[in-house]
Chain A
Amino acid sequence: MALRKPKLAVWKFSSCDGCQLSLLDCEDELLAVADAVEIANFPEASRAVVKGPYDLSLVEGSITTPHDAERIHGIRRTSKFLVTIGACATAGGIQALRNFKDVKEFISIVYARPDYIETLKKSTPITDHVFVDFELRGCPINKYQLVEVLSAFLNGRKPNTPPHSVCVECKQRGTVCVMVAHGTPCLGPVTQVGCGALCPAYARGCYGCFGPKETPNTASLSAWWSGLGASERDLMRAFRGFNAYAEPFRRESEAHEK
Chain B
Amino acid sequence: MIVPTLLAKTAEPSHVGDSFVVEREHLEQLLQALVSRGYEVVGPTLRDGAIVYDHLTSTADLPSGWTDEQSGGTYRLKRRQDQALFGYAVGPHSWKKFLCPPLQRLWQAARNGKGLRILPEEERAAPKYAFFGVRACELNAIAIQDKVFLEGQFVDPGYKARREDLSVVAVNCGRAGGTCFCASMNAGPKAASGFDLALTELLQDGRHYFLVELGSTRGAEILSRVPHQPANEADKQHAERILDHTTRHMGRQLETLGIKELLYRNYEHPRWDNVTQRCLTCANCTIVCPTCFCTTVEDVTDLTGEHAERWRRWDSCFTVDFSYIHGGSVRASPRSRYRQWMTHKLATWIDQFGVSGCVGCGRCITWCPVGIDITVEAGAIRASDSIKAPADQSEDSP
Interface residues of A (CB under 8 A from B): 29, 32-33, 35-36, 147-148, 150-152, 154-155, 157, 160, 162-165, 167-168, 171-172, 174-177, 179-183, 186, 188-190, 203, 213-217, 219-221, 223-224
Contacts and interface: CB of A to CB of B under 8 A. Distances in A.
B303 A33 contact: yes
Contacts of B284: 167, 171, 177, 189
A35 B306 CA distance: 13
B336 to A, nearest CB: 11
A220 B73 CA distance: 13
19 contacts: A32-B302, A33-B303, A151-B302, A151-B303, A152-B301, A155-B301, A160-B298, A163-B321, A164-B320, A165-B280, A168-B283, A168-B316, A176-B48, A177-B75, A179-B369, A180-B73, A186-B369, A223-B370, A224-B73
B314 A168 contact: yes
Contact of A220 (B102, B279, B313, B366): B279
B314 A171 contact: yes
Nearest to B48: A176
Contacts of B367: 177, 180
B299 interface: yes
Interface residues of B, number: 45
A35 B303 contact: yes
Contacts of A35: 303-304
Contacts of A181: 48-50, 75-76, 92
Contacts of B319: 162-164, 168, 214
A186 B369 CA distance: 9
A217 B321 contact: no
B248 interface: no
A221 B370 contact: yes
Contacts, number: 135
Contacts of B93: 174
Q: Which of B49, B102, B287 has the most CB of A within 10 A?
A: B49
Given A164-B283, A217-B279, A36 B370 contact: no
Interface in B265-279: 277-279
B305 interface: yes
B74 interface: yes
Contacts of B281: 165, 214-215, 217
Given A150-B303, A223-B370, A164 B280 contact: no
Given A150-B303, A151-B303, A189-B280, A177 B334 contact: no
A167 B75 CA distance: 16
A167 B303 contact: no
A165 B284 CA distance: 9
Q: Which of B73, B282, B301, B318 has the most CB of A within 10 A?
A: B282
B320 A215 contact: yes
Given A160-B298, A188-B369, A223-B278, 15 more contacts: A151-B305, A152-B301, A154-B303, A157-B299, A162-B321, A163-B320, A164-B318, A165-B280, A180-B75, A180-B92, A213-B282, A214-B281, A217-B279, A217-B334, A224-B73
Nearest to B47: A176
Interface of B: 47-50, 52, 73-76, 92-93, 97, 102-103, 277-284, 287-288, 298-305, 313-314, 316, 318-321, 334, 366-367, 369-371
A148 B308 CA distance: 12
Given A164-B321, A180-B74, A174 B52 contact: yes
A223 to B, nearest CB: 7
Contact of A160 (B280, B300, B303, B371): B300
Contacts of A180: 73-75, 92, 366-367, 369
Given A174-B93, A177-B92, A224-B369, A165 B300 contact: no
Q: Which 9 A-B pairs have the closest CB atoms?
A: A189-B282, A171-B287, A172-B102, A165-B282, A176-B48, A189-B280, A176-B50, A164-B319, A167-B282
Nearest to B334: A215
A29 B278 CA distance: 43
Contacts of A203: 48
Contacts of A157: 299, 301
A168 B301 CA distance: 23
A131 to B, nearest CB: 21
Contact of A167 (B278, B283, B304): B283
Contact of B314 (A154, A172, A223): A172
A176 B318 CA distance: 20
Contact of B283 (A147, A151, A160, A165): A165
B9 to A, nearest CB: 41
Contacts of B371: 224
Contacts of B49: 176, 181-182
Nearest to B279: A217
A220 B370 contact: yes
Contacts of B321: 162-164
